[in-house]
Amino acid sequence: MRKLKVYIEIDGNQTLVGTIRGNDFADAVFSYHDEYLSAGNPAPISISLPLQKTPFSPDRTRNYFESLLPEGFSRTAVADWIKVDERDYLTILSCLGRECLGAVKIVEGEDTDESAYELLPEVRIKELAAEGATESTRILLETHLSLTGATGKVGLYYDEASDKWYLPRGNAPSTHIVKQSHVRLKHLVLNEQLCMLTAKNLGIAVPESFIVNAGANDDELLFVTKRYDRAFSDKKTINGLPRPLRLHQEDFAQALGIFPSDKYEKRPSAYMKRMFELIRNHSSDPVNDQRALLSSIIFHFLIGNTDCHVKNYSLLYGPDLFCEGCG
């Protein structure tokens, strides 16, 4: 039987929350540890996984944890490189789960990796832009990094003071998500940055973003987004660099129990209504968060964003793991 430990970072400290157990990905179930449940003021890691002593079903388990993984070509490439069935989310998660979106970490066996940042030479940045998803998938495997989505992207550490990029090793958190141009869609990076700046100028809250120019051509541009689920609030360092804290988050598909394959509303399922109900019931500032969500939905409709699915909206949690906002 396989056993994957589930941790969550709270105020910079790793807390063992529970375990995923099963013979394989088809029957694996998640359960909270009794010690976590009996600790002072425990909080669930997902709205769809409320605190309880009994294990969750394989479907409930798979829905949340599979949503932490890449999709599309990156998922296929990772599965091919580690020689597993693409559906085997447990094995893929055991390889990539040390650095996920938010504050969750998944470890199979002992967690012995030390934290370090490795200076990324300029040639690697150019390779990342030139090779697209192939190079990004290799970095995913090197850094045990799991980023959701279908396009090639990696998580890196950016030191603004020195304007240098670093590859996170072991348990070191990344600070920025770097995405390449699309092989079939021209000017994707420029278009995404234009849309982000337009939204910002309209008063819509967006994460900080910028373009890295690794050359003169469209396929040498990289789109960079500062991670909203990272924050610098302590004096700890890694290799002399300030260590970011992980902030917990989950997308609306995870929170609502919607499978990643159903992220597009293929038939009327009231996704939008359910999103607003969830905010009303769980947000610490439901009125302003509903306004923010509505403004974002209207904006994406007006610019013709056909990829505005339920996994591209997320809930950000505060230090006490209670929902603070959406974006």
pLDDT score of 325 more than 60: no
- What pLDDT is attached to residue 323? 52
CB environment 172-183: b (16+ within 10 A), e (fewer) = bbbbbbbbbbbe
What does the pLDDT average to over 157-162? 93
Q: In whole angstroms, what is the distance from residue 257 CA to residue 30 CA?
A: 14
Q: Which residue type is seen at 55?
A: P
Give 239's contacts (C-beta < 8 A, 6+ positions apart). 116, 117
- Structure confidence at residue 294 as a pLDDT band (50, 70, 90): very high
**What's the whole-number average pLDDT of the chain?**
86
Mean pLDDT of 142-148: 57
Single-letter residue type at 85? D
pLDDT in tens, 9-41: 988 888 999 999 999 899 999 999 999 999 878
Number of DSSP helices (H) and strands (E) in the chain, helices first? 10, 17
Q: Report the share of the chain in percent with pLDDT over 70.
A: 87
Tell me what the mean pLDDT of segment 295-322 comes to. 88
298 pLDDT higher than 90: yes
The arithmetic mean of pLDDT across residues 172-194, rounded, is 84
Tens digit of each residue's pLDDT (9 = 90 or more) over 105-139: 999 987 766 789 999 888 777 777 665 555 556 66
For residue 248, how many other CB atoms are within 10 A of its CB? 25
pLDDT at position 155 is: 86
pLDDT value of residue 199: 96
> Residue 208 pLDDT more than 90?
yes
| Residue showing tokens 């994460």 | 207
Contact 107, 44 (CB under 8 A): no
Determine the average pLDDT of the residues in 84-112.
86
Predicted pLDDT of residue 248: 93
Considering only CA atoms, which of 15, 251, 243, 246 is closest in space to residue 145?
Answer: 246
pLDDT at 207 over 80: yes
Give the mean pLDDT of 245-261.
93
Average pLDDT over residues 254-282: 93
Per the DSSP assignment, residues forming a β-bridge with 164 are 159
Kindly tell me if the per-residue pLDDT of 176 is higher than 70.
yes
Q: Exposure of 159 by Cβ count < 10 A (0-12 exposed, 13-18 middle, 19+ buried)? A: middle
**Does the pLDDT value for residue 278 go beyond 80?**
yes
pLDDT at position 194 over 80: yes
Q: Residue 74 — very low, low, confident or very high, per pLDDT cuts 50/70/90?
A: confident
What local confidence, expressed as pLDDT, does residue 138 receive? Answer: 62
Average pLDDT over residues 310-314: 93
| Calpha distance 65→230 (Å, rounded) | 20
